[in-house]
A and B are shown apart, each in its own frame.
Chain A
Amino acid sequence: MRAAGRRAPALLALVSAALIAADTVTPLEPLRAFGSAVYGGLEDAASAGVRWASGERRLEELERENARLRADLLAARRTTPSPAQADGYRVASAHVIGFGRDGTVTVDTGSDGGVDRDMTVFDGDGLVGRILRSGPGTATVQLATASGASIGARLEGSREVGLVTGVPERGLLRLSLLNPSAEVKPGDRVVTLGSRDMRPYVPDVPIGTVVTVEPAPDALTRTALVRPFARFTALDLVTVVLGPQPDGAAADASAGEGEAGGGDTDAAKSGSKKAKGA
């Protein structure tokens, strides 16, 4: 017992160091999956308790409808619709239930709700981030301000293309425009560029506005600081883009937008279940 008491601390420190080394070499995904299975449910319950205590439960149906409407609005705002989809996205609404210190948050919808890695997350204000990994009932979102995030972006007016990266200590973003002589001035709106197959980012989600242009006369890119629209410290309800609306469903949705309150999400859920079964 005494010997164990003497050796245990050194042994445990060694195990920790081994874990660090292992995770650096090859990410320990099974361990993280276990973590989200165990702690995801607990966080969900804790957060639901907090929300219930603050009397927000009755709002949930409205919130779900809101998420769907926001997605429709986002789709309608697109200036250059791609042929792949034009009539909106399949979406899931989710609550932010946990705030991490690594520029990440947890949302309460996971792979059971069709959420998978590299999906766009936004809220009523603008882009929030992308799904980093998803557990059964929860998913981890990497915020746009995280130090590791980099997002393809463009200026809404001039369509100049650039890259947005996080400046976490100031809660700002840095836009690097590929064209060093591009016109950019404070007040310009920045939106997402969009990725192939709409993952991780769907196009034309508002990111923020330019606050200052950084003076760099002989740089290869032109950089500016961007204040994000989303308030990352007060996130609550967010919308996850699951994918494009299937062709048939797109017509239905645009025809009967008013009556189908939960219909869309139900369809999305059954669709993802089918996809999983196949």
Chain B
Amino acid sequence: MKAVVLSVLVVLVAPVLQVAVVNGLSLPGGHPDVVLVAVVALAPRLRPRPETRGLPERGAAGGGAGAFLGFAAGLAADIAPPADHTIGRLALVMCLAGWVCARVAADGTAGRRAAVAAAVALGATLAGGVLAALLDGTPWGTALAPGAVAWTVGLAALVAAALALLPRRRSFGRVPRSRDSSRDPYARGRRLA
């Protein structure tokens, strides 16, 4: 329930935050895509059934809610006023990003979630840039501006890690992990790799 409210808030607020606040800041290099960051950070928390929490079996539930969050947020970013690109471009990219995040990062330490969030954010930004160049004729230099990519990936990792660390101690009845393992950012990822 809380996750649903959060999702609606993200869909409503993130595009506004993006165009009215973030894009107006004078940051060096570019601006982070806060909509993508929000999707990537929130999608792993949208698993509908806690009991399917084990290793993601092929085709098992999970990912659907993340994909839906991504689609809705992406569509919102597609139509929120100053946008003038092909509708559906961000919806497609973020739908896939939300789905991947929900499938892969639903369990795991803060470090693993951060790593997954960063990887997915990187992939989604690059895919979005390629789509922008192909569909809307955006020059490649602006579509794949390295500054903007770096901001987005960094912020995604940071927010995902913060979200994974904060509420786990309070609710959701998950098994609390020892602080040491959740502090080591690459432990889980390295083992899997």
Contact = CB atoms under 8 A, between A and B. Distances in A.
Interface in B116-170: 135-139, 141-142
Contacts of A85: none
Interface stretch (A4-12, A62-70, A191-199): A4-12
Contacts of B142: 101, 147, 168-169
Contacts of A17: 88, 92
A219 interface: no
A73 interface: no
A5 B64 contact: yes
A126 interface: no
B82 A104 contact: yes
A2 B61 contact: yes
B96 interface: yes
A106 B87 contact: no
Interface in A96-149: 97-106, 132, 135, 138, 140-142, 146-148
A32 B12 contact: no
What class of interface size applies to chain B in its complex with A?
Answer: 35 or more
Contact of A8 (B19, B60, B67, B138): B67
Contact of B81 (A8, A20, A140): A140
Interface string A74-109: 000000000000000000000001111111111000
Given A102-B84, A234-B26, A46 B92 contact: no
A36 interface: yes
Contacts of A138: 81
A27 to B, nearest CB: 8
Nearest to B13: A42
A100 B88 contact: no
B17 interface: yes
B91 A97 contact: no
Interface of A: 1-2, 4-9, 12-13, 15-20, 22-24, 28, 31-32, 34-36, 38-40, 42-43, 46-47, 50, 97-106, 132, 135, 138, 140-142, 146-148, 168-169, 233-234
20 contacts: A2-B60, A5-B48, A5-B63, A12-B71, A22-B87, A35-B76, A35-B80, A42-B12, A42-B16, A43-B16, A43-B80, A46-B17, A46-B20, A98-B82, A100-B23, A100-B83, A101-B142, A102-B84, A102-B138, A148-B137
